[in-house]
Amino acid sequence: MKIQLKDKKLKDIDAQLEIVFVVNRDFEDLFVRDAKELKKLNFKAEQDSTALIVGSDRIYVGVDDLKSYNLRTAAAKAIKAIQLTTYSTLKVASYINEDETSIEAMVEGFILGAYRFERYKSEKSKNVIESITFSTQSFNAQTLDIQKAKEAIAKAHVVATSTNFTRDIVNTTPDDCYPEVLADIATHLAKEQGLECNVLKPNEIKEQKMEALLAVARASRHKPRVIHLMHKPKNPKAVVSLVGKGLTYDSGGLSLKPSEHMVTMKADKSGGSAVLGIMRAVAILKLPIEVHGFVGAVENMIGGDAYKPDDVLVSKNGKTIEVRNTDAEGRLVLADVLAYAQQEVKADYLYDMATLTGACVVGVGEYTIGIMSNDSKASQTIVEVGHEVSGELVTKLDFNRYLKATLKSNIADICNISNTRYGGAITAGLFLSEFIDENHKNKWVHLDIAGPSFVEHEWGENPAGASGAGVRLIVATLEHLAR
């Protein structure tokens, strides 16, 4: 789908269908030409509502205002509404709030809304939409900076396609995407986008003393990998390490999940997949930030060699971990990969992303990322970027000493689960904090993306299935750090 800007009035652009965003509930604005028809249809112009007027070849989409997050979801809804039609060329005016970020949000919405995952369908849908053309004519007669608008379109295209790249990986079944395949995807990405890549295989992982990660992987026929992708521009403005949980499938291990909870566990690689998507975007955008992406790619299965509740594991940083539940495996993988990342890179910022706990979904809902940190400023930056720029919902969850005490073990340095059923997202974050060294203590932020990474129905600009959660959020955060 080609998205372009033309320095023409909307009426002078040749396209089969016009997209009109309706802000004024009375339909009194420049681009609403079918007020009578809209009233007959009882179109209320509520946020994300649509009305296709075939006779005039226009689709109307309601928006509460011109804020980016509203335009993004409205653009996605417009695309979804016309996907089954034969319209192939579309046009739209420039809807500007304060600057060209509104156009950026619309482009993201168009691309994210058009996404379909049909790898396993015998009959593929035809994507008939060939092009979307923006007019420089603006909704509110505000002057458009053409160069900035073109840059916004180009950037949005990279971020949205990188999000879809992540969605594809997450949606791929565990029999087609296991640790070796995830490493192959990373290797191919590095060659394609000029990144450096290093992949540790089992013997090298053992040399690095990642015994917690290796224990999780032990019962699977698919051997683990630890991936390290590097984007190294000259004179970087900051150094950032990203760590992603890449559980290509999680059965729960010997603490076996109920069968209904095992469905969708292909999505347990969402954190690692997001790291790959972010590295793709960073490379194409050539951000002046040195970025290192680490992924612990593992499969958690059952078998005669499976690790067990009551085992005590020695992590890479030397701390011993009492295993009380083998389904709390992601934090074991992250503990070792976080230690490895800190060994390899002295970063200014350290972010980890993981589908870590169902407790986070219970606590903040399935549409919101929960973030935790030892430093309020580090986490607040991500919250603000999420709400104001990327459109991803983010909320802070605070650490406290009472929940930390619930992780104490009588026989090891720490337990892999707490002794209380409450505060599970925070206790998982507190567990990870034990594997952050003093140099990175106030530079680290943990993002629990268990809720929004995979939802089994459409929401906002996201389809049913993988959303690519975290890609837009972290790319926007890196851009913020580069200023």
Same domain for 11 and 48, yes or no, is yes
pLDDT digit string, tens, across residues 191-200 = 999 999 999 9
Would you call 288 helix, strand, or coil by DSSP?
coil
Tally of CB atoms within 10 A around 122: 5
Looking at every residue in the chain, the average pLDDT score rounds to 96
Residue 98 is part of a domain; what is its CATH number?
Answer: 3.40.220.10
Residue 331 appears among annotated catalytic residues: yes
pLDDT digit string, tens, across residues 15-56 = 999 999 999 888 988 899 999 999 999 999 999 999 999 999
**Contact in structure between 219 and 451 (CB atoms under 8 Å):** no
Same domain for 205 and 135, yes or no, is no
**Residue 472, pLDDT above cutoff 90:** yes
Q: What is the pLDDT of residue 128?
A: 87
Asked whether residue 104 is assigned to any structural domain, the reply reads yes
Spot the catalytic one: 257, 319, 324, 396.
Answer: 257
Percent of the chain past pLDDT 70, that is, above it, reads 100
pLDDT digit string, tens, across residues 420-443 = 999 999 999 999 999 999 999 999
Residue matched to tokens 């268990």? 450
pLDDT tier at 473, thresholds 50, 70, 90: very high
The distance in angstroms from the start CA to the end CA of the chain is 31
pLDDT tier at 6, thresholds 50, 70, 90: very high
Spot the catalytic one: 58, 218, 316, 331.
Answer: 331
Asked whether residue 147 is assigned to any structural domain, the reply reads no
For the residues 113-123, what does the mean pLDDT come to? Answer: 96
Nearest Cα residue to 273 out of 183, 122, 170, 181: 170
* Tokens found for residue 246: 């890449």
Report CA-CA distances (Å) from 173 to 268, 403, 450.
Answer: 11, 36, 18
**How far is C-alpha 253 from the chain's CA centre?**
26
For the residues 299-311, what does the mean pLDDT come to? Answer: 98
Report CA-CA distances (Å) from 215 to 7, 274, 302, 330, 462.
Answer: 60, 24, 12, 12, 35
pLDDT tier at 348, thresholds 50, 70, 90: very high
Domain that holds residue 197: 161-481
Same domain for 124 and 58, yes or no, is yes
**Contact in structure between 250 and 300 (CB atoms under 8 Å):** yes
Our count of domains for the chain comes to 2
Residue 257 appears among annotated catalytic residues: yes
Residue matched to tokens 């006779």? 55
225-231 vs 290-300, strand pairing mode: antiparallel
Helix pair 270-285, 471-481: axis angle to 10 deg: 40
Q: What is the pLDDT of residue 125?
A: 87
**Residue 97, pLDDT above cutoff 90:** no
pLDDT tier at 161, thresholds 50, 70, 90: very high
Q: What is the pLDDT of residue 35?
A: 95
**Residue 277, pLDDT above cutoff 90:** yes
Q: What is the pLDDT of residue 101?
A: 87
Q: What is the pLDDT of residue 64?
A: 95
Same domain for 196 and 89, yes or no, is no
Same domain for 236 and 301, yes or no, is yes
Same domain for 378 and 345, yes or no, is yes
Residue count (the chain): 483
Same domain for 371 and 475, yes or no, is yes
Distance CA 210, CA 231 (A): 24
**Contact in structure between 322 and 414 (CB atoms under 8 Å):** yes
Q: What is the pLDDT of residue 143?
A: 83
For the residues 223-251, what does the mean pLDDT come to? Answer: 98
Same domain for 197 and 122, yes or no, is no
**Residue 98, pLDDT above cutoff 90:** no
**Contact in structure between 332 and 217 (CB atoms under 8 Å):** no
Percent of the chain past pLDDT 90, that is, above it, reads 94
pTM for this prediction: 0.97
**Contact in structure between 76 and 19 (CB atoms under 8 Å):** no
Q: What is the pLDDT of residue 455?
A: 97
Q: What is the pLDDT of residue 127?
A: 79
Single residue among 91, 107, 140 that ends a domain in this structure:
140
Same domain for 171 and 236, yes or no, is yes
Distance CA 467, CA 41 (A): 32
349-354 vs 239-250, strand pairing mode: parallel
Residue 406 is part of a domain; what is its CATH number?
Answer: 3.40.630.10
Same domain for 213 and 286, yes or no, is yes
